[in-house]
Amino acid sequence: MKRTQHCNELRPEHAGQTVTLVGWVHSRRDLGGVLFIDLRDREGRTQTVFDPSDLPKEVFERASHLHSESVIQITGTVRVRPEGTQNTKIPTGQIEVLVKSLEVLNDAAVLPFPVDDPELASKVNEEIRLKYRYLDLRRPEMIRNLRVRSKVAIATRSYMDGEGFLEVETPTLFKSTPEGAREFLVPNRRDPGTFYALPQSPQQFKQILMVSGIERYFQLARCYRDEDLRADRQPEFTQVDIEMSFIDREDIYSLIEGLLKKVWKTALNLDIPTPFKRISFEEALNRYGIDKPDTRFGMELVDFTEEFKGSKFGVFGNCVANGGVIKAINARGLAGATQGQLEIMTETAKGFGAKGLAYIKVEKNAAGTIEWKSPIVKFFSDAEKAALTAKLEIQEGDLILFAADQWLNACEILGKIRLYCADVLKGQGKLTIPADQFNFLWVIEFPLLGFDREMNRWYSSHHPFTAPVADDIPLLKTDPKKVRGQHYDIVVNGVELGGGSIRIHQPDVQKTIFEELLQIPPDETQSRFGYMLEAFKYGAPPHGGIALGFDRLIAILCGTTSIRDVIAFPKTAKGVDLMTDSPSTVTPRQLRDLHIEVKAAVKKDV
């Protein structure tokens, strides 16, 4: 070892010792007669002192011209700092190292952006941070994120091991299963025209492992989806993938509650209460307008369908007559919403096919009396007004927003607007949410199927291996919409952390789903899922599982909304790695080997 200590280790009790430290030049303060260099490694930093009266001239000269981020090794004596010069901001601030010798291990060129100042560095354009990712990762806050990630990964493995799970690796060269997310394809050199696909998840392998009798499987699995990206979506990402045999939903709930309890303790030293609350899909939509509710604030949806049945206000009355619902939220304190903000909300509503967005601003008028300012309130009867006042607890300063539409649409419109209003209120300081508040929630009883009007067929709302609730199986052939799936999502603070289900383990039920409901032709079912249906014939245990988005989990723990901050080498929104400039073109020879001809205009190499 070159070093005797790391840069966050020396304390007053080391005074007098000769030590060797290595690291990066974090900052340099040259006072002419004395020179301070803060040396940084991944653990922290230590002030070193260069005294020209005590050092050969060339050593002092060398030190005084060191660029930031040069890598050096120093040997010197630890001493307690003179009275009044201690730095309470850093743990090593009581001491300093008086340098006797300096070795420059690597001179750094002038940096493209500062890494020593967290304030400045966090504002640097992400494009340049990604291009020089190695510099970006040197920032203590980025190293901290990677450290959290590592600790949580290890805690997860240790917890799963303790629960009797086997970590099994599954292939990343898999078979194309063109349902669901678009896949990345890998051409097969040995058989022209055939392809592997990178797995969207190890779903099928983990079920097969249950048939294999593994009973308890987990993996920190890399998954690949060739879809457009978001702040919380990368083309390759990591899932904590879990599958168990001979269990029911309750076993999954308690397993994951235990895992998250351990993870939160490990990463944040927080004790989160378990068991988590549960809410049905229907209730989540009714109260929060979304299937992944953020329950850290209220502003819940209120139903007024009954009150507006037969209303003289045509928009509401007709809506109810046509089987729709009337929902409203009270955005307390937002009566002063700007025209622009109302515009954004209206556009949101229109995005769901609504014609507009009805609202009431509850404000004092010039005469000093409270008034409902709204283009529609003149159509309301006294009874309707009384119902609104009572159920929404209307008071001065409120902004009431309405959705009148079919149930799901009405809920979703207000669900979006509720989140938008919360953001606005947060911006105005009228809504504060503590950073250490984590509202975990199981969302359960999802509908097994949705109906695709365009394609005129059912589709799986989760995936086609999800088992129906046993009581609902007879409904599969009579009223598929009513069938509930044994599907569950784990949600925290409005973020979907993961989801899973109890699987179908009977080949006949699986076949019904594939062929009668999803209307996949039998030969296609055979070619895509035949091996699974066959596997299930030879003794498939009842089983179920879940997958947690590991990147999202770490992002939440690190307090960031972008998973790029918790992935060492992430890609841009267009899937480009700016550091290596990939993807890139390949040689004609490579293409020939793969029997591939590129027809699109070839991007010129620079």
Partner RNA sequence: GGGGGUGUAGCUCAAUUGGUUAGAGCGCUGCCCUGUCACGGCAGAGGUUACGGGUUCGAGCCCCGCCACUCCCGCCA
The sheet with strand 302-303 has its strands ordered as 302-303, 325-332, 398-405, 358-364, 370-373
Strand 35-41 to strand 18-30: parallel, antiparallel, or no bridges (unpaired)? antiparallel
The CB-side HSE value for 323 (13 A sphere, CA atoms) comes to 3
DSSP E strands in 345-475: the ranges are: 358-364, 370-373, 398-405, 440-444, 449-452, 457-460
Shorter beta-carbon distance to RNA: residue 116 or 384: 116
Query: Which residues inside 394-433 make contact with RNA, applying CB under 7 A?
Result: none
| Residue count, binding to RNA (CB under 7 A) | 72
Question: According to the binding rule CB under 7 A, does residue 125 interact with RNA?
Answer: yes
* Whether the bond into 583 is cis, omega within 30 of 0: yes
Residue 450: CB minimum distance to RNA, A = 8
Select from 155, 576, 579, 591 the one that contacts RNA (CB under 7 A): 576
Residue 192: CB minimum distance to RNA, A = 27
Question: According to the binding rule CB under 7 A, does residue 16 interact with RNA?
Answer: no
Shorter beta-carbon distance to RNA: residue 413 or 540: 413
Residue 112: CB minimum distance to RNA, A = 4
Within 8 A by CB and 6+ apart from 361, the residues are 335, 336, 337, 372, 373, 374, 398, 399
Shorter beta-carbon distance to RNA: residue 244 or 400: 244
Strand 44-50 to strand 95-106: parallel, antiparallel, or no bridges (unpaired)? parallel
Residue 97: CB minimum distance to RNA, A = 10
Select from 15, 71, 186, 229 the one that contacts RNA (CB under 7 A): 229
Question: According to the binding rule CB under 7 A, does residue 235 interact with RNA?
Answer: no
Q: How far apart are CA 47 and CA 246, in angstroms?
A: 59
Residue 53: CB minimum distance to RNA, A = 5
Shorter beta-carbon distance to RNA: residue 112 or 298: 112
Q: Which of 252, 179, 145 is nearest to 519 (CA)?
A: 179
Q: How far apart are CA 72 and CA 40, in angstroms?
A: 10
Residue 64: CB minimum distance to RNA, A = 7
x-or-dash pattern for RNA, window 175-214, by CB under 7 A? --x-xxxx-----------------xx-xx----------
Select from 59, 104, 128, 591 the one that contacts RNA (CB under 7 A): 128
Q: Which stretch binds RNA (CB under 7 A): 125-133, 315-323, 372-380, 426-434?
A: 125-133
Q: How far apart are CA 210 and CA 310, in angstroms?
A: 56
Q: Which stretch binds RNA (CB under 7 A): 78-86, 141-149, 323-331, 380-388?
A: 78-86
Shorter beta-carbon distance to RNA: residue 182 or 309: 182
Residue 119: CB minimum distance to RNA, A = 8
Query: Which residues inside 24-63 make contact with RNA, applying CB under 7 A?
Result: 27, 29-34, 36, 38, 47, 49, 51-53
Q: How many CB atoms lie within 10 A of CB 477?
A: 11
Within 8 A by CB and 6+ apart from 78, the residues are 10, 14, 15, 16, 17, 18, 19, 95, 96, 97, 98
Select from 233, 296, 391, 595 the one that contacts RNA (CB under 7 A): 233
x-or-dash pattern for RNA, window 339-378, by CB under 7 A? ------------x---------------------------
Q: Which stretch binds RNA (CB under 7 A): 81-89, 161-169, 305-313, 585-593?
A: 81-89
Q: How far apart are CA 280 and CA 269, in angstroms?
A: 30
Shorter beta-carbon distance to RNA: residue 129 or 361: 129
Question: According to the binding rule CB under 7 A, does residue 564 interact with RNA?
Answer: yes
Shorter beta-carbon distance to RNA: residue 44 or 464: 464
Within 8 A by CB and 6+ apart from 46, the residues are 7, 8, 10, 21, 38, 39, 92, 95, 96, 97
Question: According to the binding rule CB under 7 A, does residue 539 interact with RNA?
Answer: no
Strand 166-167 to strand 216-224: parallel, antiparallel, or no bridges (unpaired)? parallel
Query: Which residues inside 477-516 make contact with RNA, applying CB under 7 A?
Result: none
Contact between 215 and 543 (Cβ < 8 Å): no
Residue 215: CB minimum distance to RNA, A = 21
Q: At what angle do helices 522-535 and 203-211 cross, to 10 degrees?
A: 40
Phi, psi (deg, nearest 5) at residue 454: -60, -50
Shorter beta-carbon distance to RNA: residue 38 or 307: 38
| 3-state secondary structure (DSSP) of residue 120 | helix
Shorter beta-carbon distance to RNA: residue 412 or 472: 412
Q: How far apart are CA 330 and CA 232, in angstroms?
A: 29
Query: Which residues inside 151-180 make contact with RNA, applying CB under 7 A?
Result: 177, 179-180
Contact between 503 and 173 (Cβ < 8 Å): no
Residue 470: CB minimum distance to RNA, A = 21
Shorter beta-carbon distance to RNA: residue 302 or 492: 492
Question: According to the binding rule CB under 7 A, does residue 562 interact with RNA?
Answer: yes
Q: Which of 583, 576, 586 is nearest to 133 (CA)?
A: 576
Select from 11, 42, 81, 511 the one that contacts RNA (CB under 7 A): 81
Select from 2, 12, 18, 67 the one that contacts RNA (CB under 7 A): 67
| 3-state secondary structure (DSSP) of residue 471 | helix
Shorter beta-carbon distance to RNA: residue 203 or 311: 203
Query: Which residues inside 91-120 make contact with RNA, applying CB under 7 A?
Result: 93, 96, 110-114, 117, 120
- Whose tokens are 């059912």? That residue is 458
Shorter beta-carbon distance to RNA: residue 85 or 318: 85
Q: Which of 408, 186, 390, 398 is nearest to 281 (CA)?
A: 408
Q: Which stretch binds RNA (CB under 7 A): 99-107, 289-297, 397-405, 458-466?
A: 458-466
Shorter beta-carbon distance to RNA: residue 85 or 338: 85
Question: According to the binding rule CB under 7 A, does residue 145 interact with RNA?
Answer: no
Within 8 A by CB and 6+ apart from 350, the residues are 356, 357
The CB-side HSE value for 173 (13 A sphere, CA atoms) comes to 6
Residue 170: CB minimum distance to RNA, A = 12
Shorter beta-carbon distance to RNA: residue 89 or 589: 89
Residue 606: CB minimum distance to RNA, A = 12
Q: What's at 396, amino acid-wise? A: E
Which contacts of 526-530 are long-range, i.e. CB under 8 A and separated by 24 or more positions?
Answer: 528/175, 528/177, 528/179, 529/177, 529/204
Q: Which stretch binds RNA (CB under 7 A): 13-21, 290-298, 459-467, 472-480?
A: 459-467
